[in-house]
Amino acid sequence: MKNKNILVTGGLGFIGSHFVELLYKKCENCKITIIDSYAYCVSEKTEDYLWDMYRKSSNKLDIIYVSISDFKLDKEYDYIVNFAAESHVDNSIKAGDVFIDSNYIGVYELLKQLPDSTRFLQVGTDEVYGSLQFNSDPSEEYDLLEPSSIYSATKAGADLLALSFHKTYKKDIIITRCTNNFGPRQFPEKFIPVIAHFANNNEQIPVYGKGNNIRQWIYVKDHCEKIYNVLLQGDAGKIYNLAPDSEYHSEISNIEIVEIILTILKKPKRLISYVEDRKGHDLRYSLKDSVYRDMMIQAGKQLEFSETQKTFADDLRYTIMWYIENEKWWSK
């Protein structure tokens, strides 16, 4: 990619910042603009990390501190990638207003201003499909949407809004939906960093219900690579499920994740504390990504794993050790 003007909303957040880091490596002579409201889950250290990186690059970086609900599009961009969203399900259960404003109204405000020449990629979630049974087939792109929380409902609504702008106004819009992300720089309220923090400090680790809920995990950098591929190769108006490669073996129960992390940190299982289950807690998420794979094959890209391909266990271990070594990442 060369000489492109790219807007990344939520670019100081967990996944967004990794995507901005990817653009640093993939783009030549590009102008990257981040829109971010600088909410509670943004680290000043992440911002500094990105500034320092781009100072060494031919690419240019600009950051505008504003919510997407209030942002005025004053120039044309080749690409807009929307990561901006409130994403903590527990918070949406307690107070949903901010999720409506950011995840739904914010997307509408962006879409209203979208030029015909701009490709818009809406980053979605597997949670819009709702809960699967243990033996159910993975969710596919045009399965019924059955969101269980205000978070997933607002994300489903944003996807439908975006698709309506494609159909009615012929805007160049693509939807991606991904499985659970993990990796460095995720805010410590999320599942894997929470476990790492409590385990490392020999504190009780809260586990909802019996910990039997199953999630499919993807390393954040792998997710960003797939988003980048869809941005360049995807067809307007399509939805692309983004899942880890089948050989990654990362569809796993919550309690198994806890036990693996305890093993990595050499901590006892007696730290596990089962607590009352979350309201509307979905049993299982899993995605089928055949549309994405077909896109890559048509583009002549190689999909198979090599014999030296890293594993979920490798990425999880690296992630846990990153959290242990960077516990002050979010200190103000």
Catalytic residues: 126-127, 151
Instruction: With CA atoms as reference, report the closest residue to 252 among 161, 168, 191.
Output: 191
Give the amino acid at 220. V
CA distance 53 to 55: 6
CA distance 289 to 233: 15
Identify the residue whose tokens are 């990817």.
22
DSSP code per residue over 153-211? HHHHHHHHHHHHHHHHH--EEEEEEE-EEE-TT--TTSHHHHHHHHHHTT--EEEETTS
Residues in the chain: 332
CA distance 284 to 295: 26
What does the radius of gyration of the chain's CA atoms come to, in whole angstroms? Answer: 19
Are the CB atoms for 285 and 179 separated by under 8 Å?
yes
* CA dist 63 → 33, 102, 106, 113, 181 (Å): 6, 18, 18, 19, 24
Residues 138-171 as b or e (16 or more Cβ within 10 Å = b):
bbebebebebbbbbbbbbbbbbebbbebbeeeeb
